[in-house]
Structure 1
């Protein structure tokens, strides 16, 4: 594939995202097991989520593990989109934590993805574990792309899928009128990240076909592409779609 990449010019800088785009709700899920309000578990969850917010002011990824007395442990992580500033990341994580507290009140585990950041906590170990479960996907209309358009789209996806000799959890590319974004969570190894992104990109092609835009979110990574003028993310209208997630429910805007 390296000889093909020489034919294309890829752009690595995207426009600074607006607050509205950063805060757009993508999905959320909660575990069925509940904890008792006012219990040590709740105190630990609150401490962990606070730590995630504070850490987001200095980094776009971090994870924490906190013990609950002597009988349990809570794991948590956040991941911001790679093009966000520290201030944007911190605001996004704070908003995600607030929404997660409402959506998953008293749940032992929960996860929430906004356009700009992802937050998850649970008492089951998930940090450092690859997970390619499809959480949610969105496909544009099957209008059919011309062969030239498909070539441009595939070139964008091919670059997102290549490591380019360096390890990057966040990747962007553009060719002609197509743009693409891909990212995996920072707890994955380079090999796991590559495997996850390759899986997400392959699912984009097989599940969405010749669509002018598509988004694929797996549990530990995502990939998306769009043709200029083909896709504008809708406002969060509260539409819900059932989805099993660690015995939970997924809500999709």
Structure 2
């Protein structure tokens, strides 16, 4: 029983280290490999199947291709595959990343997908600097205005100056043409927008108009906001994008306090169980 208690304690601390590592890595959203969102499809493939070979092949192709391009898409079917074994995939890096940073970001995305989506027939990972997706159903060149992720910062109050500048930035993000990646600012308000390049420029425009409109209506007077749709995103910040890590740190502090409280409570239970175990051993020895 005591050995089991020690094992539980070691497992508890290991879990804490994993949690703290995740929190520290996500507290600075300026890093290209900072996590934004991720998801997996419900269907699972059979290990050792042709589909698994196709998944491995397409994820490897995405990482290799990111060494010399900021966008690419693939349709993979290894010899012996059937129509149902075909895998589709793409990656898209932020427009201001270097090729080396792009490759590192895509490699991080693929590695995380392998952890959170084992045996999943499809998965998507959005980091701050890149987007990776694969699936058994073709999504290449298909418009997708589904709201995938939204986050709004704290309210700055209804300052007419800030809001007018925010509106000007969002209008620019939605109104520019001929660009998949857009950056602009008005005073202290900065904005960035991007579409996945499997869309046409007109489809990109439609997606950014939708994202900008939702961001304005759903985040209201927030100091910053992020709106990610299936094939595009729009972001703005009243103080510059690096400042949002300060807001995230506040959330991290609260989360750490909760975790520490949980750890303390679990530790008390473990100590109590250990005491009962020793007490029972003494009684059995009599």
User: Normalized against structure 2, the TM-score is what?
Assistant: 0.73
Paired residue for 1:132, among 145, 165, 170?
145
In structure 1, the partner of 2:185 is 174
More helix by share: 2
Larger RCO, structures 1/2 (Cα 8 Å, 6+ apart): 1
In structure 1, the partner of 2:161 is 148
* Contact 1:135–1:218 (Cα < 8 Å) also in 2: yes
Q: Does 1:216 align with 2:227?
A: yes
TM-superposed CA distance for 1:140, in Å, is 1.1
Q: CA deviation digits over 1:39-86, x for unaligned, max 9? A: 111111111011000111111110000125123211000000000000
* Contact 1:62–1:77 (Cα < 8 Å) also in 2: yes
Equivalent pairs counted in the alignment come to 219
* Structure 1, 195-204 or 220-229: larger mean CA deviation: 220-229
* Contact 1:145–1:211 (Cα < 8 Å) also in 2: no
Q: CA deviation digits over 1:135-169, x for unaligned, max 9? A: 010011233231111111111111111124xx111
Q: Which has the larger radius of gyration?
A: 2
User: Normalized against structure 1, the TM-score is what?
Assistant: 0.82
* Contact 2:29–2:128 (Cα < 8 Å) also in 1: no
In structure 1, the partner of 2:5 is none
Paired residue for 2:201, among 181, 190, 194?
190
In structure 2, the partner of 1:30 is 40
Paired residue for 1:199, among 210, 218, 228?
210
* Structure 1, 129-138 or 154-163: larger mean CA deviation: 154-163
Alignment partners' CA distance in 2, 1:199 and 1:119: 22
In structure 2, the partner of 1:46 is 56
More strand by share: 1
Alignment partners' CA distance in 2, 1:172 and 1:118: 18
